[in-house]
Chain A
Amino acid sequence: MNGEELTEQETALYDRQIRVWGVDAQRRLSKSHVFVSGLKGTAVEFCKNIVLAGVGSLTLNDDNPVTEDALAANFLIPLDEKMGGGGSLAELCCDSLKDFNPMVHVSVEKGDLSSFDVSFFEKFDVVVISCCSLAAKKSVNEKCRKLSKRVAFYTVDCRDSCGEIFVDLQKYSYAQKKADETVECQLQYPSFEEAIAIPWRSLPKKLAKLYYAMRVVERFEDVEKRKPGETSIEDLPSVLKLRNELCLAHSLNESQVPDSLLERLVVSTREFPPVSAILGGILGQEVIKAISGKGDPLKNFFFFDSVDGKGVIEDISTF
């Protein structure tokens, strides 16, 4: 392998993980640049994982002030800094993350996510957005797709004890190892917009119900101009009505999107820390795979619901 060797310090620090993914992958990780927007508990879990893994740089974006709610699932902000001094969520998280691994360059990018243009994203290999509006998901995903280089795009959301990850690696080739031989594999991913536009009736019967439920809630927040997670029990009747309309339009039986599930997503919008940890872990692993080019990447949705305990991959694409 050409390129610099890992330093002694890196070899010592990353010893255990190099034994999992090899030196080559570690080298690629250390040259990669990751962008994360929306720093609630799940994104913070992801940031921790990726900083520990030893990416080259991590850029954080979240101008929100630190509130009680934001702190609920955040282990990055020590109490003494919580209220005093101000500072955005991104700034306070940045300080702690730097501490986790001095070899990773962690920085803050101020500004509204929607204000970043296409060229902004060119600096990155991986873009992760969390707790964003439907519009933001679509638009950031499209911006990443406009670039000539491939930028891996992910969304991650946790509501109550449910979670969803979306992955867009565009056209992705990787070496799949089977028994003895290595097979060159190619995957074609749809964008977020393309994926969610697929008519529900054409999706597999056993699809995770959480997929539909998340789409209903996402659509509700979009139509009502709410911020992500800005829902309460009062909204339930309207959400159920929207569910019925969507199911009718898609010729899907309403039982595929149960009332009880929607109620959980609408009422309890706080992230459940154990689920954040699980989602942050799965997402961390996926990003490491995408950067290193090693391992079968997830295509293209992942769902977890702690009620049944299953962590399921769903392929929602027309290809």
Chain B
Amino acid sequence: MASSQHLSAIKGSKVLMVGAGGIGCELLKTLALSGFQDIHIIDMDTIEVSNLNRQFLFRQSHVGQSKAKVARDAVLRFRPQISITSYHANVKDSDFNVDFFKQFSVVLNGLDNLDARRHVNRLCLAAAVPLVESGTTGFLGQVTVHIKGQTECYECQPKPAPKTYPVCTITSTPSKFVHCIVWAKELLFAKLFGDKNQDNDLNVRSNDAASSSNHPEDVFERREDEDIEQYAKRIYDHVFGHNIESALANEETWKNRNRPRPIYVKDVLSDEPLQQNGISDKIPPTDNLSTVSAMAYLGLKNPQDIWSLKENSRVFFAALKLFFSKRQKEIGNLSFDKDDHLAVEIVTAAANIRAASFGIPLHSLFEAKGIAGNIVHAVATTNAIIAGLIVVEAIKVLQNDTKNCRMTYCLQHPSRKMLLMPVEPFEPNKSCYVCSETPLSLEVNTQRAKLRDVVEKIVKSKLGMNLPLITHGSGLLYEVGDDLEPDEVANYEANLEKVLSELPYAITGGSIITVEDLRQELVCKINIKHREEFDEEKEPDGMVLHGWTPSAAPAVENDNDAATNNGASTSSTSKSLPDDMEEDDELIIVETGIETIPAGKKRKLSDISNSETTDEKRAKKIPEQLEDDADVVVMLDDGNENGNNDIS
């Protein structure tokens, strides 16, 4: 069966691959070997060193080049007769519209972020092209098939929201290392090297300035006569000393918490003059800015080592100095990048110094990098397996053998003797606003919330629309696009700042607004309900969206300790299945990245008869149970129960 029937379906097909990363490399290879003749591949990324351990089509010499193009060239070397078209571009670009998608027999995703996955899902629905979706993390992986009207779409199950932290936890009361990392990366790093005009919750007024006067000086502004060492010392004392001191003044905060310890330069590096703390002017000359490293400068070799407070302080000073002496031009435009070694160094050091203040265990640069960069674990083997499974499903789709399509989980520990577990796909969720166009409802204070809040917090963030168009009745309230007249743009900009009830076509309780994204061909109606008050802690958006829920219980909130997970965004409960696991590197800050099967919801296993639950799964000799329970709740191991760096 592998050959003849398959082959005709394969040969006549035209497939689109989105993503040429870990899964993508494996997939392109397996497609080519399987006889696919016409493959298109989109990827906006360029190759990095940390890709090379698994993205086997790439070599050291390719670092910096387009993944899609290099992958194409590599595969053509052993299959020169086939056609591979590469696009070094973002799949969200307007070139890849519904008409573009319509030319393909099937779309295969090997993506690394939720946003792009949702976008591709919508285009596939609009173009009525089947989608095979995939993801891996560590030894876990999954492949799902989405066919319009026949199976659930990628968004039928709500995805967990990105993990967010209350601002006060980050600025005043960190209790976990991840809080220190978020502080160092989002606040301190941004203040030191990012856009000065950006809002930032970091306390920038020094105590003296505040008390002595109406002299609201920004501490992070380097004074004209100030040399870099004075500046670095002042910053250090301010953020690790004065800021802690002023926080301590608020007794109420510390009633039930451990009081932090202010740390000043003189306490940590008292025995040696600052001049000798690795920030003398003897910085080795180098042309290659990417190799500028405080560790190298200080003779610290092993990124797995946990540095002492003193070492962290030295790294902090050295890194700061290196930024100002070697990378002056970038200052003011930098944002944290996990592949920027110097940035990782200063964030690690700052997070550790802060952790020391708050009595939180310190971490190595390797661990800190994982957390700060939200690096997802990735190995070649899982990607290879998942790519194989994608092709198996793609061939079924091409043969119109929809009834035999399966969603397959690749597990770390066998469940019912299975390492690869096929499950029958779900029916479409009738309340899914994406594939069923079911109306949603929004609770909002229409006299306080601005249109901008709705656009940013709901339409873009929750509904995943990139180019939204909002209408109320016959009135157009908001639109984005390249073809707008200047006066229209001004008009919409003005609308953004207006409170809902004061818009030209006033939105009040009972209004029904229409939100659409023309590129995604997605239209969605939202019923507005006015509500006066919102809980700041539980409803930080100040508005609540309803209607897009699975039939059973809501998704379990994964209070996922990204920190203790070594930065993996994959922790979950035992009832959840891995999904949306980024096979590749980055995702936005602390996205949990797990699809949760609603409690009590039953997944039907394809004709599995012997039952074995998760609890039993490790037992080596399991008596065969003979009852045929075709309909069971699948309990999957999340693979993370054992903590870090652990494959057992």
Contacts and interface: CB of A to CB of B under 8 A. Distances in A.
Interface stretch (B92-100, B210-218, B377-385, B470-478): B377-385
A281 B381 CA distance: 4
Residue of B26, B77, B384 ringed by the most chain A CB atoms within 10 A: B384
B384 A277 contact: yes
Q: Which 8 A-B pairs give the minimum distances between C-beta atoms?
A: A311-B420, A277-B388, A309-B422, A281-B385, A273-B33, A281-B384, A22-B645, A295-B647
B370 A19 contact: yes
Residue of B1, B378, B380, B609 ringed by the most chain A CB atoms within 10 A: B380
Given A21-B645, A304-B420, A309-B408, A75 B50 contact: no
Interface stretch (A56-64, A173-181, A233-241): A173-181
B77 A79 contact: yes
A33 interface: no
B348 to A, nearest CB: 14
A137 interface: no
A308 B606 contact: yes
Given A294-B647, A311-B421, 6 more contacts: A16-B378, A19-B566, A48-B384, A53-B381, A274-B388, A285-B382
Contacts of A176: 618, 648
B161 interface: no
Interface of B: 1-3, 26, 29-30, 32-34, 49-50, 52-54, 56, 59-60, 75, 77-80, 138-139, 301-304, 366, 370, 375-385, 387-389, 391-392, 395, 406, 408, 410, 412-414, 417-422, 566-568, 585, 606-607, 609-610, 618, 620-621, 624, 626, 641-648
A41 interface: yes
Given A304-B420, A310-B422, A312-B418, A281 B388 contact: yes
A242 interface: no
B1 A268 contact: yes
5 contacts: A13-B50, A20-B645, A78-B77, A205-B626, A268-B3
Residue of A77, A176, A306 ringed by the most chain B CB atoms within 10 A: A306
A90 B234 CA distance: 63
User: Size band of the A side of the interface?
Assistant: 35 or more
A79 B78 contact: yes
Nearest to B625: A206
A112 B78 CA distance: 28
A11 B420 CA distance: 31
Contacts of B75: 75
B181 to A, nearest CB: 15
A17 B379 contact: yes
A270 B381 contact: no
Interface in A248-299: 264, 268, 270, 272-278, 280-282, 284-285, 288-289, 292, 294-296, 298-299
A78 B642 contact: no
Contacts of A296: 413, 618, 648
Nearest to B378: A16
A151 B214 CA distance: 76
A73 B33 contact: yes
B607 to A, nearest CB: 7
A75 B387 CA distance: 15
B30 A310 contact: no
A95 to B, nearest CB: 12
Given A13-B53, A75-B32, A277-B30, A20 B380 contact: no
A13 B49 contact: yes
Contact of B417 (A45, A275, A292, A312): A312
B1 A264 contact: yes
B3 A270 contact: yes
Contacts of A155: none
B101 to A, nearest CB: 24
B587 to A, nearest CB: 14
B377 A278 contact: no
Given A308-B607, A311-B418, A315-B621, A277 B80 contact: no
Contacts of A74: 78
Contacts of B568: 19
A14 B303 CA distance: 13
Nearest to B27: A277
B375 A19 contact: yes
Given A273-B391, A274-B388, A309-B392, A52 B370 contact: no
A3 B375 CA distance: 27
B50 A206 contact: no
A313 B388 contact: no
B647 A302 contact: no
Contacts of B607: 308
A52 B58 CA distance: 11
A303 B387 CA distance: 18
Given A20-B645, A270-B3, A53 B379 contact: yes
Contact of B2 (A78, A160, A285): A160
Nearest to B423: A309
A295 B49 contact: no
A285 B381 contact: yes
Contacts of B387: 274, 277
A73 B388 CA distance: 13
A20 B378 contact: yes
A241 to B, nearest CB: 23
Contact of A313 (B412, B418, B624): B418
A204 interface: yes
Nearest to A306: B392
A246 interface: no
Given A23-B304, A52-B53, A288-B381, A75 B566 contact: no
B648 A285 contact: no
A75 B29 contact: yes
A53 B54 CA distance: 8
A296 to B, nearest CB: 6
A134 B265 CA distance: 72
Residue of B301, B381, B384 ringed by the most chain A CB atoms within 10 A: B381
A285 B21 CA distance: 20
Contacts of B79: 75, 79
A20 B2 contact: no
Given A160-B1, A313-B417, A273 B384 contact: no
B393 to A, nearest CB: 9
A288 to B, nearest CB: 7
A8 interface: yes
Contact of B56 (A22, A52, A54, A276): A52
Contacts of A299: 620
A76 interface: yes
Nearest to A15: B50
Given A20-B378, A307-B1, A312-B417, A278 B388 contact: yes
Contact of B49 (A12, A48, A99, A284): A12
Nearest to A272: B2
